[in-house]
Amino acid sequence: MKLSASDAAELFDVDESTVYRWIEERGLPADRIAGRTLLNRAALLEWATENQVAISARVFRPAESGAEKLPSFAQALAAGGVHHAVPGTTREDVLRGAVDRLPLPEGSDAEDLLAVLLARETSFSTAIGNGIAIPHVRMPIVFDVDEAIVSLSFLERPVDFGAADGKPVTTLFTMVTPTVHGHLHLLAALAYLLRDEAFLAGVKAAAPAEVMLARATEVELRGA
């Protein structure tokens, strides 16, 4: 999904000149197409998370009447679960462990999902720094699921994901959604949550599921 500089400015709660400055000075990914500056929404959200740039709390506001109903991050996390001590010593090991723990509907091809995630890691690491990775693809794939699913996996041991900050990964957020729009909404919500001190502290401490769910719910309700 492509965004204009104006769309990006609204998402970040800044003016357009700041967006252009980030493109020039901080490596915000953008393309010039037919004289227009366009940004890939997924790439933009990855950049924001890696660079600790705040996302507007408007991401949690209900969709306008008639628009697609956006998934609740807290509800998606409750559906996907929080998993501790996920084993593995390589990217493939831990990604397989995370995919195996996703409550996919009967008949879903978990191996296909794993293959797509591994292909993405081969081309570009999904590690965002601070020991966190968000396995997903730039052009989101969707699955035949009724509701969005977010799984939080705390790894048994750190694994090298080739993160820009050089830190091994200890935490994975994996998501499956029924629509592209829903996938991008959850990415934006996660980018916002990872700027919340209490939520991030819970991630770093591998907190129990009830702690992570309670904080996600609190932040989401506050922003709505």
**Which residues are catalytically annotated?**
136
Measured CA to CA, the distance from residue 151 to residue 97 in angstroms comes to: 11
Q: Is 153 helix (H, G, I), strand (E, B) or coil?
A: strand
List alpha helices for 91-143, DSSP H. 91-100, 110-123
Q: How far is CA 64 from the centre of its chain?
A: 23
CB atoms within 10 A of CB 223: 17
Q: How far is CA 95 from the centre of its chain?
A: 15
The candidate with the shortest Cα–Cα distance to 171, out of 103, 119, 94, 100, is 94
Residue 16 backbone phi and psi in degrees, to 5: -60, -35
Residue 208 backbone phi and psi in degrees, to 5: -60, 160
The candidate with the shortest Cα–Cα distance to 189, out of 106, 73, 93, 50, is 73
Phi-psi label, residue 56: left if phi above 0, alpha if psi -120 to 50, beta otherwise: beta
> What DSSP character marks residue 58?
G
CB atoms within 10 A of CB 6: 12
